[in-house]
Amino acid sequence: MVQYDTAHVKNIALLGHAGCGKTTFAEAMLFESGILPQRGSVEEENTASDDHELEKNRHSSVFTSLLHIPWKGYKINILDTPGYSDFCGEVLSSLRVADTGVMLLNASTGVEVGTDLIWDYTERFKTPMLFVINQLDHPEANYERTLQEAFAHFGNQLAVVQFPVETGNEFQQIVDVLNMVMYEFPNNGGKPAKLNIPEALKVKAEQLHQELVETIAAHDESLMEKFFDQGTLTEEEMKKGLHDAMIAHDLFPVFCASGKANMGAGRIMGFIDAVCPSANERPPAITLQGDALPCNANGPTCLFVFKTILEPHIGELSLFKVFSGTVKAGMELLNEDTGVTEKFNQLFLLEGHKRIPVNELAAGDIGATMRLKSTHINNTLHEKGKSLQLTPILFPQPNLTMAVSVQKKGEEEKLSQALHSLQEEDATIRYEVSAELKQTLLHCQGELHLQMIQWKMENEYNLNLKWEAPRIPYRETIRTGAQAMYRHKKQSGGAGQFAEVTLHIEPYYEGMPEPKDVPLRGKEEVVLAWGGKLVFYNCIVGGAIDQRFLPSILKGIMEKMQQGPLTGSYARDIRVLVTDGKMHAVDSNDMAFKVAGLQAFRTAFIDAQPQLLEPVYAVELWCPNEQVGAVMGDLQTRMGIIEGMETANHLQKIIAKVPLANLYQYASALRGMTQGRARFQMQFSHYAPVNQEAQRKLVEAYQPAQTDAMLVD
C-alpha cells in the first residue's frame, strides 16, 4: 500500500440535494481511477458507496460512505453524503473533516432546498467549495437556468470554468475556459479527446475566460498588478489564484459533468489534485484551549472521531481524521474527553463496506479503526503528555419526537440497548426515559429519519415496537389566592397520627413583594427541576406547630407539586404560607404533617382557579415565496402566532410561536405541503395558559384514568 504524505492527500465531501447524482458521480471517479473494473449503478444496487441494505431498498443515500482513490500521485478521500435534510448529521460530520466541498447541482431541476441547507453548513465551516452542474445528459437538462439559479442562491463568487456545447442526448463536449480547450468524450464516456475550441464558440469562450481572469485577479493584489501590466494571466497563475481564493472561501469554480455518462469526472479530479487545498494548506485547527494545531505529520499525534458505524457481530468502527502527527497501528492514544487510553490495534482505509488494512496514516488523512472501548463521535485522541481537544461538531436540535415501547414483554432492556446504539452511531438521534410522561421518547430530525430508525429497529435489532404520539408535558399553576385547612387524624390501636395544617397559597412571579400582614418566621425558595419556583413561608406563631414539622409539610406539598390535581402534571410558580395548625404531644409525627400539608395544599389549589399551562415552541421556517401563504395559513390553524417574516437569501424566513401539542408530525405535513421545498427548526420557548375549553377536556380525560388506576390498585 502506497503511503501518502500530507501534501498529497485531498479530502472532499460530495454534497447536494437528493437525486443530484452524488453516488453515481463517485462511481465514475472510482472507475476513472482504476479502483473499480466497471461502474455500478444506483438502480442495480451495486454501487461502492450505497452499500447498506436500506440504501439499496430506497435507491438513495442514508449514511455517509468513505471512499478513496489514487489519482496522478495524489490520494483523494471521498465522503459521499446523503442529500435529504433529515440526515443532516451525516453532512455536518463530513464537512468537519473535508478540505473541499463538491456541490453537485441537478441540471434538470436546478438548485433545490436541500442544496440551500447544505450551503448554510459550508458557510459555517468556511469550506473551500467547487460546483458541478451534473446530469447534463438528462433530456430536460438546462445548463443556463441552473447556472443562473446558482448565482442567485450563492452569489457572484461563482467562477465559471466550463460550459457544455450541448445538453440532453447531445451532451458530449465541454469547453474549459481555464485551459482554453474543448473536451470531446466518446459515446460511452471515459477519457476525452482534447480539441481546439470551434470558431463558433470562441467568442463565448474568450469572454468567459476573460471574466474568469478578472475574477481571480480581483481577489489577489499581486495577480491584479500582473493583470494590469499584461492584460491577462497564465494558466498557472490562474490556478494559484483559484487555490488561494478557495481557501479563503472567496471563489467557487463551476464545472460540468454527467456522472451517469462518465463525462467530466476525470477533469474535476485533476482540478482537485492540482488546485484544491490539502489539509496542511488550510488554516490550522484551533483547540478548545485556543491554541493553533498545524496539520503537520511531524507534530504531536492528534485525531478527531467524526463518525461511528456499528457492524453486527464485529463491533464499532470509528472513523477519524488525523489533524496532526502520524498514527500507527499498535499506538496508544489518550481520549481527552473520557480520559481513557485507547489502543489502535488496526488501521483501515475504507472503500464503502470494504476495509483495507494500513500501517500508518499521516496528518490530513482519513481512516478508521475498530473496537475502541470508550470513544464516541466528537472525541479527540492524542499522544500522552499532551492536552489537546478539538472543537466538537454542533448538531441541530430534533424536529420530531415519538414515544416508543415494546410490544413483547421482557424486551425493555433490548430496546434500551438498541436506542443507545442508534445514538452512538448518529448524534442527531436522542432518546430519554421520561419519568414525567412515563414514556420512552425518541427525538430525531424528521419523517425520513424516523423511517430509517424504524427499519433498523425491525431489521437489525429484531424489535417489533409500538410508536405513538408523545404526551405533552403540561404544567399546572393557579390564578388567585386561596386558603385551606386539613386535619389528619388516625387512630387504629397503639400510637395514632394527628396533624392539622392551615395554609394560604397564591400565584408567584419573580420580583413580587414579600407578604404583608403576616409574621415571617422563615422562608425557603425551591427552584423546581421542571421550571418555575415554589416559595415556602413559615408564618406560625405561638408554637401552634413545632418547627421540626415544617420540613414535613414542605415535603408533602412538593409531593403534590410533582402530580398536580388537574392532570397529574408538574405544578409551578406558587407561593405557600403556613399560617396555623395544631399538633398532639404524642400522636403528631413527620408522616402526619406530610399528609396534612399535602391535602391542605391540594384543597387550596383546587379553590385557587387552577390553570393548565402548555409548552410553546419557537419555530423558524424557510420556504420559497410562492408557498408563504399556504405555510402561514397552516401555522394559524395550529394556533401559531406569526411574529415576523424576513428575506433569507432567496427564501422567506417565517418566525412563529406554536403550541407543542399542535406540532406533532409537522415535519411530514410541511414536506407534503411544500413538496419538500421548505425546512424548519424548533426549540422550546415558554409555557402559556391553555384555553378553558381545552383545559376542561384535558381534566375530564385525566379523571377517569385516575379512577381506573385506583380500581386496579
CB atoms closer than 10 angstroms to residue 661? 18
CB atoms closer than 10 angstroms to residue 603? 18
Whether this prediction's pTM lies above 0.85 is answered by: yes
Return the HEC string of 20-72.
CCHHHHHHHHHHHHCCCCCCCCCCCCCCCCCCCHHHHHHCCCCCCEEEEEEEC
Largest pairwise CA distance in the chain: 114
Q: From CA 129, how far away is CA 119, in angstroms rounded? A: 10
pLDDT in tens, 495-547: 789 999 999 999 999 999 999 989 999 999 999 999 999 999 999 988 899 99
pLDDT in tens, 639-681: 999 999 998 777 899 999 999 999 998 988 998 898 888 889 9
* Cell of residue 498, nine digits: 394527628
Q: How close are the terminal C-alpha atoms of the chain, in Å? A: 69
Q: From CA 678, how far away is CA 621, in angstroms rounded? A: 7
pLDDT in tens, 31-85: 999 999 999 999 999 999 988 889 989 989 999 999 999 999 999 999 999 999 8
Enumerate the CATH 3.40.50.300 domain ranges in the chain, comma separated.
Answer: 6-281
pLDDT in tens, 579-627: 999 999 888 899 999 999 999 999 999 999 999 999 999 999 988 888 9
Residue 416 carries which side chain, given as an amino acid letter?
S
Residue 230 Cα distances to 208, 223, 242, angstroms: 18, 10, 19
* Cell of residue 678, nine digits: 421548505
Confidence grade of residue 710 (pLDDT, cut at 50, 70, 90): very low
CATH number for the domain whose boundaries are 6-281: 3.40.50.300
Say if strands 100-106 and 129-134 run parallel, antiparallel, or are unpaired.
Answer: parallel
Domain 476-608: CATH architecture, name and number where available: 2-Layer Sandwich (3.30)
Q: What CATH fold (topology level) applies to the domain 285-382?
A: Elongation Factor Tu (Ef-tu); domain 3 (2.40.30)
* Cell of residue 329, nine digits: 497501528
Q: From CA 311, how far away is CA 49, in angstroms rounded? A: 16
Q: From CA 368, how far away is CA 377, in angstroms rounded? A: 13
Instruction: Specify the DSSP class assigned to residue 280.
Output: G
Q: Which of 2-11, 146-155, 157-166, 485-494 is predicted least confidently?
A: 485-494
Q: What are phi and psi of 222, to 5 degrees?
A: -65, -40
Q: Which is nearest to 467 in space by CA: 487, 440, 503? A: 440
Enumerate the CATH 3.30.230.10 domain ranges in the chain, comma separated.
Answer: 476-608
* Cell of residue 74, nine digits: 495524489
Domain 612-688: which CATH class? alpha beta
Say if strands 193-195 and 475-478 run parallel, antiparallel, or are unpaired.
Answer: unpaired
Enumerate the CATH 2.40.30.10 domain ranges in the chain, comma separated.
Answer: 285-382
CB atoms closer than 10 angstroms to residue 681? 15
Q: From CA 625, how far away is CA 260, in angstroms rounded? A: 33
Enumerate the CATH 3.30.70.240 domain ranges in the chain, comma separated.
Answer: 612-688
CATH number for the domain whose boundaries are 400-468: 3.30.70.870
The count of residues in the chain is 713
| β strands within 375-464, DSSP E | 380-382, 400-406, 430-434, 439-444
What is the overall mean pLDDT for the chain?
Answer: 93
